[in-house]
């Protein structure tokens, strides 16, 4: 198996190489259940008792208490070494945690900052002295952590931040001045990972800043649409003295650090949003099975089955991508360590290797969660719009996931830019060679009709990959370096690339499940979930390709390009209505999402 990020586009995967949740170890299952139980008992039940959601400005002590209770179970140290009081989970098991903690609603954001962006810079980049000093406190929640990157004028363009540091005359401290905003956990944080420029540097550096250093002022809690139980504030630094030994990583290495930490956060967010989507689907299914109209449970109506089946299909296929990549990151880390790379560096490099997939999963996971929760509210009808049912809270909470960890627009462009860099600059991925093979497959498709059978799903996956290769090749040839400025085309390509990866992962997962055997009725539902996703993906890809072609091609060139796309994206001879109903039939029997 090639452990190379982006290779899914040009290589045919082997089902034996993909990891699926059915292969979870007993320990992974137990961790997922432990986290779920904690979220139900400490968050969901408390919200029901109170009759309202937690609010950071009113319930700070209780929210901090929840974080400390989580730490007692080891949940604040999932990525921290045992030496420093953590659990030292491998990456894929960390995704199990991320998926389950979504049951904690806005608390997932609070503990996410503690276990991910607020502490991973120290885990991955810290010196031994820094790790010894800070990580035990983070793991025990005696130190609450936060991450300070965004500024009023520096959001997606993080390197344009204006926060500055200068070295004092004694050479003992950096003196920091600046302002940060949208700081999760900032209202009660003890330490801040802060990004700033030293003197006239062009790139950011990173620092570990303790609140007790002085010169740190915390703003009021932001009034937000959702995640109200998560502390979000502005943080001001005024002549804040930072010991020189608290420079984190190399000078001017902060921007690279921020990107690498965001890669980690993106796939964790994908796991979390998929976990939230599963929770919402369970709520929708239960309500639809209980709610009657016209003396019939609404789950029996075709319109409701369409919604529920579509929701399950999207969840199932994103799940395939999340744990495929999580396991590959673990395998890449082991490969790098076996080659002699130090542990910290190997962790960073293994995540960086899959930056393309992490960006794709962040987009797909967050947008699918928004879709699922929106449809859940619709199934609840007027009750869903009422605060009494709690669905509107999830609806509001989910919206932020398309913004933080890099907006979905940024992540779309990043996925294509990173793939292009690996193809043209570092020569890690042979896109040009793969593109040359597309012509032969187009010619073959002209002389073959629509097919069916076991290999039809693989044909669709290859067709979507070929459309990406064809569009990126023809658009790149015509536009050259100007293509980077044609963001609409890049976004179209990103959507095609994302569906190529999710479809590829879903089909590989299905083939592995088929080889494993097991419950035949469940396998029928799983197969239906993949087929529905492929059916919908063909339509999305066709539209994205058409939009892209219209943007760069004219006249006969445009006609020829559209002809190629039509020949590649032949129709898929399945009945999506029957497939969705098959999915829902199985879920009704199980009483929950269980495919």
The phi, psi pair for 75, rounded to 5°, reads -80, -10
The phi, psi pair for 194, rounded to 5°, reads -115, 135
Contact 438, 466 (CB under 8 A): yes
Contact 595, 526 (CB under 8 A): yes
CA distances from residue 239 to 151, 163, 168, 203, 264 in whole angstroms, order as listed:
17, 11, 11, 20, 32
Contact 164, 178 (CB under 8 A): yes
> Rounded to whole angstroms, how far apart are CA atoms 490 and 496?
10
Q: Specify the DSSP element, H or E, that contains 212.
A: none
Contact 180, 146 (CB under 8 A): no
Tokens of 141: 């929640």
Contact 471, 287 (CB under 8 A): no
Task: Identify how many contiguous H helices and E strands the chain contains and give both numbers.
Answer: 20, 10
Whether 405 is catalytic is: yes
56 φψ region: left (φ > 0), alpha (ψ -120 to 50), beta (else): alpha
- Name residue 198's beta-bridge partners: 165
What is the residue whose two structure tokens read 């083939």?
A: 511
Q: Which residue in 151, 210, 222, 405 is the catalytic one?
A: 405
Radius of gyration of the chain (CA): 24
Residue 197, classified by CB atoms within 10 Å of its CB into exposed (0-12), middle (13-18) or buried (19+), is: buried
Beta strands in 149-190 (DSSP E): 164-167, 173-184
Tokens of 578: 């029957």
Contact 358, 421 (CB under 8 A): no
Q: Where are the alpha helices (DSSP H) in 40-117?
A: 45-50, 60-72, 91-101, 107-115
The phi, psi pair for 58, rounded to 5°, reads -100, -30
In this structure, which long-range contacts are made by residues 128-132, counting pairs with CB atoms below 8 Å and at least 24 apart in sequence?
A: 129/245, 130/208, 130/245, 130/246, 130/248, 131/81, 131/84, 132/84
What is the residue whose two structure tokens read 């994302």?
A: 498
> Rounded to whole angstroms, how far apart are CA atoms 395 and 400?
10
The residues, ordered by sequence, that sit 6+ positions from 388 with a Cβ below 8 Å of its Cβ are none
Tokens of 554: 């004219």
> Rounded to whole angstroms, how far apart are CA atoms 558 and 465?
20
Active site residues: 405
């Amino acid at each position: 198996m090639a452990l190379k990020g982006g290779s899914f586009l040009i290589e045919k995967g082997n089902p034996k190489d993909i990891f699926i949740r059915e292969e979870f170890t007993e320990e992974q299952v137990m961790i997922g259940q432990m986290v779920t139980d904690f979220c139900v008992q400490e968050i969901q039940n408390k919200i029901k008792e109170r009759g309202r959601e937690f609010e950071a400005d009113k319930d700070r002590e209780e929210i901090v208490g929840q974080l400390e209770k989580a730490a007692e179970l080891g949940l604040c140290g999932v990525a921290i070494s045992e030496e420093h009081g953590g659990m030292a989970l491998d990456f894929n098991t960390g995704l199990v945690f991320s998926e389950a903690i979504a049951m904690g609603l806005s608390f997932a954001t609070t503990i996410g900052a503690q276990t991910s962006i607020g502490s991973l810079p120290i885990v991955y980049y810290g010196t031994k002295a820094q790790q010894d000093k800070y990580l035990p406190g983070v793991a025990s929640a005696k130190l609450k952590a936060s991450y300070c990157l965004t500024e009023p004028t520096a959001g997606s363009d993080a390197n344009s931040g204006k926060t500055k540091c200068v070295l004092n005359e004694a050479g003992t401290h950096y003196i920091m001045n600046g302002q940060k905003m949208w700081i999760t956990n900032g209202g009660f944080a003890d330490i801040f990972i802060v990004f700033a420029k030293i003197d006239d540097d062009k790139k950011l550096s990173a620092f570990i800043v303790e609140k007790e250093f002085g010169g740190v002022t915390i703003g009021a809690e932001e009034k937000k649409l959702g995640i109200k139980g998560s502390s979000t504030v502005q943080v001001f630094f005024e002549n804040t003295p930072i010991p020189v030994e608290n420079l984190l990583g190399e000078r001017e290495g902060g921007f690279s650090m921020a990107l690498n930490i965001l890669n980690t956060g993106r796939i964790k967010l994908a796991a979390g949003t998929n976990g939230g989507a599963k929770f919402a689907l369970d709520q929708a299914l239960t309500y639809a099975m209980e709610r009657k109209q016209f003396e019939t449970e609404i789950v029996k109506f075709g319109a409701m089955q369409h919604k529920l089946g579509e929701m399950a299909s999207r969840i199932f296929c994103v799940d395939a991508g999340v744990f495929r990549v999580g396991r590959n990151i673990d395998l890449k880390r082991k490969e790098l360590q076996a080659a002699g790379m130090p542990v910290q560096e190997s962790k960073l490099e293994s995540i960086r290797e899959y930056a393309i997939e992490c960006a794709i999963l962040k987009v797909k996971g967050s947008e699918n969660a928004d879709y699922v929760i929106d449809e859940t509210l619709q199934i609840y009808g007027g009750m869903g719009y009422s605060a009494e049912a709690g669905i509107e809270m999830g609806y509001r909470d989910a919206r932020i996931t398309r913004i933080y960890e890099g907006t979905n627009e940024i992540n779309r462009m990043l996925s294509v830019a990173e793939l292009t860099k690996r193809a043209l600059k570092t020569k890690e991925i042979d896109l040009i060679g793969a593109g040359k093979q597309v012509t032969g497959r187009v010619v073959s498709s002209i002389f073959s009709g629509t097919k069916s059978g076991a290999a039809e799903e693989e044909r669709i996956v290859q067709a979507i990959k070929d459309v990406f290769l064809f569009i990126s090749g023809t658009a790149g040839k015509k536009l050259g370096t100007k293509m980077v400025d044609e963001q609409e085309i890049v976004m179209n390509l990103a959507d095609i690339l994302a569906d190529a990866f999710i479809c590829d992962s879903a089909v590989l997962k299905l083939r592995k499940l088929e080889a494993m055997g097991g419950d035949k009725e469940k396998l029928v539902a799983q197969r239906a979930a993949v087929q529905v996703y492929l059916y919908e993906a063909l339509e999305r890809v066709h539209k994205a390709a058409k939009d892209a072609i219209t943007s760069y091609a004219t006249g006969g060139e445009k006609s020829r390009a559209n002809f190629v796309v039509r020949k590649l994206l032949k129709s898929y001879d399945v009945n999506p209505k029957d497939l969705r109903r098959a999915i829902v039939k199985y879920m009704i029997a199980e009483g929950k999402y269980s495919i």
